[in-house]
Chain A
Amino acid sequence: MTLTKRVIPCLDVANGRVVKGLQFKSIKDAGDPVSLAEKYSNEGADELVFLDITASEENREIIKSLVSKVAQVINIPFTVGGGVKTLQHARDILLSGADKVAINTGAVKNPKIITELMELFGRQCIVVAVDVKRNYNVSAQKNVFTDNGKKFWFEVFIYGGKKETGIDAIEWAKKMETLGAGEILLTSIDMDGTKDGYDVNLTKKIVESVSIPVVASGGCGNPEDMIDVFKKTDVEAALAASIFHYETHSVDRVKKLIKESGIPVRI
Chain B
Amino acid sequence: MKVAIFDYGAGNIFSLKNSLEKNGAQVDIITGLNKSKEYSGLLLPGVGNFDPAIRSIRDYSSTDFKDYVGESMPVLGICLGMEMFFKKSEEGKEQGLNVIDGEVVLLPNTMKVPHMGWNSLEIERQSNFLEGVNDGSWVYFVHSYMIKTNETGLIAANADYGIKVPAVVEQKNFIGTQFHPEKSGEIGSLMLSNFLSGCKK
Query: Which A residues are closer than 8 A to B by beta carbons?
Result: 1-4, 6, 41, 44, 46, 68, 71-72, 75-78, 94-99, 119-125, 182-183, 211-213, 236-237, 266
List 3 A-B pairs, minimum CB-CB distance, nearest first. Answer: A97-B14, A266-B138, A3-B117
Which B-chain residue is minimally distant from A41 (CB atoms)?
B185
The contact sample of 27 A-B pairs, CB cut-off 8 A, is A1-B119, A1-B120, A3-B115, A3-B116, A3-B118, A3-B161, A4-B138, A71-B12, A71-B14, A71-B15, A75-B183, A75-B184, A75-B189, A76-B185, A77-B140, A77-B142, A77-B180, A77-B183, A94-B11, A95-B11, A99-B183, A121-B48, A122-B10, A122-B47, A125-B11, A211-B112, A266-B138
B160 an interface residue at 8 Å Cβ cutoff? yes
B18 an interface residue at 8 Å Cβ cutoff? yes
B119 and A2 form a contact (CB under 8 A): yes
B10 and A120 form a contact (CB under 8 A): yes
B160 and A4 form a contact (CB under 8 A): no
- How many residues in B have their beta carbons less than 8 Å from beta carbons of A? 36
List 9 extra interface pairs beyond A71-B15, A125-B47, CB under 8 A: A2-B162, A3-B161, A75-B182, A76-B140, A76-B184, A77-B183, A95-B14, A123-B144, A237-B117
B112-152 with Cβ < 8 A to chain A: 112-120, 136, 138, 140, 142-144
A95: B residues at CB distance < 8 A:
11-12, 14
B34 an interface residue at 8 Å Cβ cutoff? no
A124 and B142 form a contact (CB under 8 A): yes
B140: A residues at CB distance < 8 A:
76-77
Taking the nearest CB of chain B, how far is it from the CB of A203, in angstroms?
Answer: 16
B49 an interface residue at 8 Å Cβ cutoff? yes
Taking the nearest CB of chain A, how far is it from the CB of B154, in angstroms?
Answer: 22
B118: A residues at CB distance < 8 A:
3-4, 6, 46, 266
B90 an interface residue at 8 Å Cβ cutoff? no
Taking the nearest CB of chain B, how far is it from the CB of A49, in angstroms?
Answer: 14
Q: Known: A2-B119, A6-B118, A75-B185. Is A124-B15 also a contact (CB below 8 A)?
A: no
Taking the nearest CB of chain B, how far is it from the CB of A38, in angstroms?
Answer: 13
B189: A residues at CB distance < 8 A:
75
A-B contact count (CB 8 A): 98
Which A-chain residue is minimally distant from B113 (CB atoms)?
A211
Taking the nearest CB of chain A, how far is it from the CB of B111, in angstroms?
Answer: 8
Q: Known: A2-B160, A4-B138, A121-B10. Is A75-B188 also a contact (CB below 8 A)?
A: yes
Which B-chain residue is minimally distant from A97 (CB atoms)?
B14
Which A-chain residue is minimally distant from B143 (CB atoms)?
A124
A41: B residues at CB distance < 8 A:
185
B186 an interface residue at 8 Å Cβ cutoff? yes
B177 an interface residue at 8 Å Cβ cutoff? no
Bound together, the chains give a CA A6 to CA B140 distance in angstroms of 11
Bound together, the chains give a CA A97 to CA B14 distance in angstroms of 5
Taking the nearest CB of chain A, how far is it from the CB of B112, in angstroms?
Answer: 6
B19 an interface residue at 8 Å Cβ cutoff? yes
A122 and B119 form a contact (CB under 8 A): no
B18 and A124 form a contact (CB under 8 A): no
A123: B residues at CB distance < 8 A:
114, 144
Which B-chain residue is minimally distant from A265 (CB atoms)?
B118
Q: Known: A182-B114, A213-B112. Is A71-B160 also a contact (CB below 8 A)?
A: no
B19: A residues at CB distance < 8 A:
75
A75 and B15 form a contact (CB under 8 A): yes
A121 and B185 form a contact (CB under 8 A): no
Bound together, the chains give a CA A78 to CA B12 distance in angstroms of 10
Bound together, the chains give a CA A68 to CA B120 distance in angstroms of 29
Bound together, the chains give a CA A1 to CA B162 distance in angstroms of 8
B149-201 with Cβ < 8 A to chain A: 160-162, 180, 182-186, 188-189
B1-58 with Cβ < 8 A to chain A: 10-12, 14-15, 18-19, 47-49
A183: B residues at CB distance < 8 A:
116
B114 and A124 form a contact (CB under 8 A): yes
A122 and B160 form a contact (CB under 8 A): no
Q: Known: A75-B19, A77-B140. Is A121-B14 also a contact (CB below 8 A)?
A: no
